Amino acid sequence: MKTGSTKRKKPSTEFNLANYDKECESFSWGSVEREIGWQSGAPVNIAKSCVDRHVREGKGDRQALIFLKDTGSQVYTYRDLEKLTNRFANTLKKLGIRKGERVALFLPSIPELYISLLGVVKAGAVAIPLNNKYMSDTVKGFLEDSNPSLVITTSQLYERISGTGVKFIVVGDDGENGWYRLLSNSDDNPDPTELMNREDPLLLLYTSGSTGNPKGVIHVHEGALQYYKTGQWALDLKEDDVFWCNADPGWITGISYGIWAPLLNGVTTLVYNGPFEADKWYNILERNRVSVWYTTPTFLRLLMSAGARVAKKHSFRSLRKILSVGEPLNPIFNRWSQATFNLPIHDSWWMTETGGIMIANFSCLPVKPGSMGKPVPGVNAAIINESGEELLPLEMGQLAIKAGWPAMMRGIWNDSEKYGHYFVMPPWYLTGDLAYRDYEGYFWFQGRIDDVLKINSERVGPFEIESKLVEHPAVLEAGVIGKPDPLRGEIIKAFIVLDSHYSWSEELKQEILHFTSSKLAPHLVPEEIEVCSRMPRTRSGKLMRRVLKSWELGIPYSDLSS
């Protein structure tokens, strides 16, 4: 077990969270409301706290969002954002969108996505960000489940939702349904902001489980307390920071820490939605003087594999904090990061369902490479056994959180039963992750209890992929696993049982791949397909993906399960 620590450069008093133990003893979430301008018991709106509050406080000229393009950049100050989001919220109201109605955003991470999302929330509606990588079947499934009053999309992406009958607005279209035309017909006055109950929903975000349909996780305005405070404590954001979170808003990281946390903290946030290229990434960090960078092991691996020569061309004088989320951060990342940036990487752990960061390596504490860190003050995390009893240090069990933190999901859309499964052992919220805690209170990730995969650090349910594979006439049964990959963490491997009318050939394989790529986002198309004579199933017929994994890894199933 690794317990080595990495040297710090700065005295801990310079960090927003200076004394971890003291905060753990005295902190309560209620104390945060004043810091974001909320009055006790009064209605609120997170979008107003993110944008208008800074303008009222005389910081309207500060840069809020910078969209990086290969040909220059597009800057929005907090004042620009206030005006545009007001306009958009007024547009929505004119279109008849009311409090609590849902508006889906099927857009790439362009300025219109950020303006629309904040506008939707200002208007009191619920935003549903849909990852623009998703293909027609998936998006249509989400739309059917959430039944939005309106979808905002681009003319290119529109093709994937045509035929659904949902009303839509199109960015980049000059017609009646054009986003810009509608916006220019509205005004930023009167203030459109609906004041909300803190428990009112603001976001519905779809994520995957190991079985069944994806779930629409519901988040509420109250979460602002945690987005703000974890931005301050875990990301250590300060007013002058230039912050870069390279996650897409189709994933919760790109919302909670690409929008809420930095805007609530009044910092400048960069957005870049181009393809990965190591030199480009280093350039973004260097030229924009990024001071805090929130990334994922996927990107870190890509940078690492590009080699030291690319990194050596750059200097990162402004960079003072790097964080990671989404997948295990092996100690090797920290060694590489010290050599490349002269900084450690601070891991953080959380889930779509937790809404915000729950466990992190804080700047004021030594980083233990390979560990996720310690719980955020105000968060009560434990390792429990199958009866819900807390285990001792170094004993492995399920990571569980005492329910009731501000950013906790408040429901699964249309599925109270699924929601209930997370809370079957009060007072715990069950994470489905395996971990242990060491004697100093650091948590160490060990794996998932279910069969969920991590592809590009995003969560992927094997069931979604299997369902598409079996739609091909040659595929009788399918089982999907994550195959360990040195560069990408995991790749998708599918085992299939062929229909007896077909025989296996390279041609058939290509045909199946082509078929699935028309139905699945590109990163969800299996990289490997292997034919087997039967699928391992339990007596009740449940697919045993772990047996497939043990076949793949060449180890006995019993060893794998232990």
Q: What tokens appear for 23 in the block?
A: 């905060």
For residues 13 and 19, give the distance between their C-alpha atoms in angstroms, rounded to a whole number.
8
Q: Cβ–Cβ contacts within 10 Å for residue 312, how many?
A: 10
Q: What tokens appear for 446 in the block?
A: 């060990």
Helices and strands in the chain: count of H runs, count of E runs: 20, 25
Give whichever of 351 and 529 is closer to ligand WTA, judged by the CB atom.
Answer: 351
Q: Assign 3-state DSSP to the chain and report helix, strand, coil percentages, each to 5.
A: 30, 25, 45
Q: What tokens appear for 28 in the block?
A: 């309560």
Least separation in angstroms between CB 34 and ligand WTA:
28
Least separation in angstroms between CB 219 and ligand WTA:
12
Quote the crossing angle between the two packed helices 297-305 and 278-287, to the nearest 10°.
110
* DSSP letter, residue 70: S
Residues that bind ligand WTA (CB under 6 A): 207, 252-253, 325-329, 347-352, 372, 431, 433, 445, 448, 458-459
Give whichever of 372 and 412 is closer to ligand WTA, judged by the CB atom.
Answer: 372
Least separation in angstroms between CB 351 and ligand WTA:
4
Give whichever of 38 and 227 is closer to ligand WTA, judged by the CB atom.
Answer: 227
For residues 562 and 560, give the distance between their C-alpha atoms in angstroms, rounded to a whole number.
5
- Side-chain half-sphere of 364: how many Cα atoms within 13 Å? 18
Least separation in angstroms between CB 297 and ligand WTA:
8
> Is the CA virtual torsion 9, 13, 15, 19 positive or negative?
positive
Q: 261: phi > 0 → left, psi -120 to 50 → alpha, else beta; which?
A: alpha
Contact 64, 51 (CB under 8 A): yes
Is residue 348 classed as helix, strand or coil in its secondary structure?
strand
Least separation in angstroms between CB 298 and ligand WTA:
12
Give whichever of 77 and 210 is closer to ligand WTA, judged by the CB atom.
Answer: 210
Least separation in angstroms between CB 199 and ligand WTA:
22
Contact 104, 143 (CB under 8 A): yes
Give whichever of 266 and 406 is closer to ligand WTA, judged by the CB atom.
Answer: 406
* Longest CA span, the chain: 72
Least separation in angstroms between CB 445 and ligand WTA:
4
- What residue type is 510 in one-letter code? Q
C-alpha gyration radius of the chain: 23
Give whichever of 509 and 523 is closer to ligand WTA, judged by the CB atom.
Answer: 523
Give whichever of 328 and 441 is closer to ligand WTA, judged by the CB atom.
Answer: 328
Total number of residues shown for the chain = 562
Give whichever of 123 and 247 is closer to ligand WTA, judged by the CB atom.
Answer: 247
Give whichever of 248 and 466 is closer to ligand WTA, judged by the CB atom.
Answer: 248
Least separation in angstroms between CB 262 and ligand WTA:
16
Least separation in angstroms between CB 135 and ligand WTA:
19
Quote the crossing angle between the two packed helices 506-517 and 462-469, to the nearest 10°.
120
Least separation in angstroms between CB 257 and ligand WTA:
9
Give whichever of 522 and 554 is closer to ligand WTA, judged by the CB atom.
Answer: 522
Q: Is the peptide bond before 522 cis (omega within 30 degrees of 0)?
A: no
* DSSP letter, residue 393: T
